[in-house]
Amino acid sequence: MNFKLVYASLSITLKEFYRSKASMFFVLLFPIILMLLFGLIFQDQGETVYDLHVRDLDGGLNSQNITEMLGNTEIFNIIEVGDEVGDIDDAKDYLTEHKLNAMLVIPEGYSDGFDAIMIDRFLGIPTNDTVDVVMIYDPANTAAMTKISILNSIMDGVNKAATGMPDVLVLEMETTVSDDFDYIDFFAPGIIAMSVMTTALFGTVTINTELRQKGILRKLATTPLSRSEWLLANILYQLCMAVLSTISIILIGVGLFDLNPHLNLFLPLFVILNVFAFSGIGMLITRFVKEAESAHAAANAIMFPMMFLSGTFFPLEGMPDFLQTFAKVLPLYYVNEGLRAAMITLDEGTLMTSTIVLIVLAIVIFILGVLLTSWKHD
Residues found near other proteins in the complex (CB under 8 A): 4-5, 8-9, 12, 15-16, 19-20, 214-216, 218-225, 375-378
User: With respect to other proteins, which residue has the nearer C-beta, 126 or 224?
Assistant: 224
Q: How far is the CB of 294 from other proteins (least distance, A)?
A: 20
Nearest to 200 by CA among 269, 297, 267, 299: 299
Exposure pattern of 144-163 as b/e (b: 16+ CB <10 Å)? beebeebbeebeeeeeeeee
User: With respect to other proteins, which residue has the nearer C-beta, 294 or 374?
Assistant: 374
User: With respect to other proteins, which residue has the nearer C-beta, 23 or 324?
Assistant: 23
User: With respect to other proteins, which residue has the nearer C-beta, 225 or 359?
Assistant: 225
User: With respect to other proteins, which residue has the nearer C-beta, 224 or 318?
Assistant: 224
Letter for the amino acid at 293?
E
Q: How far is the CB of 1 from other proteins (least distance, A)?
A: 14
Q: How far is the CB of 375 from other proteins (least distance, A)?
A: 6
User: With respect to other proteins, which residue has the nearer C-beta, 26 or 304?
Assistant: 26
Residue 200 near residue 243 (C-beta atoms within 8 A): no
User: With respect to other proteins, which residue has the nearer C-beta, 160 or 218?
Assistant: 218
Give the CA-trace dihedral at 229, 231, 235, 236, to 10 degrees.
20
Other beta carbons within 10 Å of 116: 14
User: With respect to other proteins, which residue has the nearer C-beta, 83 or 378?
Assistant: 378
Q: Please state whether beta strands 50-56 and 76-80 pair in parallel, antiparallel, or not at all (unpaired).
A: parallel
Contacts 24+ apart (CB under 8 A), 303-308: 303/197, 303/198, 303/201, 303/202, 305/330, 306/194, 306/197, 306/330, 306/331, 306/332, 306/333, 307/194, 307/332
Residue 103, φ and ψ in degrees, nearest 5 = -145, 135
Q: How far is the CB of 280 from other proteins (least distance, A)?
A: 22
Residue 335 near residue 193 (C-beta atoms within 8 A): yes
Q: How far is the CB of 49 from other proteins (least distance, A)?
A: 51
Q: How far is the CB of 216 from other proteins (least distance, A)?
A: 6
Distance from the Cα of residue 97 to its chain's centroid: 33
Q: How far is the CB of 15 from other proteins (least distance, A)?
A: 6
Q: At what angle do helices 183-213 and 21-42 cross, to 10 degrees?
A: 160
Q: How far is the CB of 361 from other proteins (least distance, A)?
A: 30
User: With respect to other proteins, which residue has the nearer C-beta, 29 or 216?
Assistant: 216
Rounded CA-CA distance 85/130 in Å is 24
Nearest to 56 by CA among 47, 45, 65, 44: 65
Other beta carbons within 10 Å of 78: 16
Rounded CA-CA distance 28/242 in Å is 10
Q: How far is the CB of 6 from other proteins (least distance, A)?
A: 11
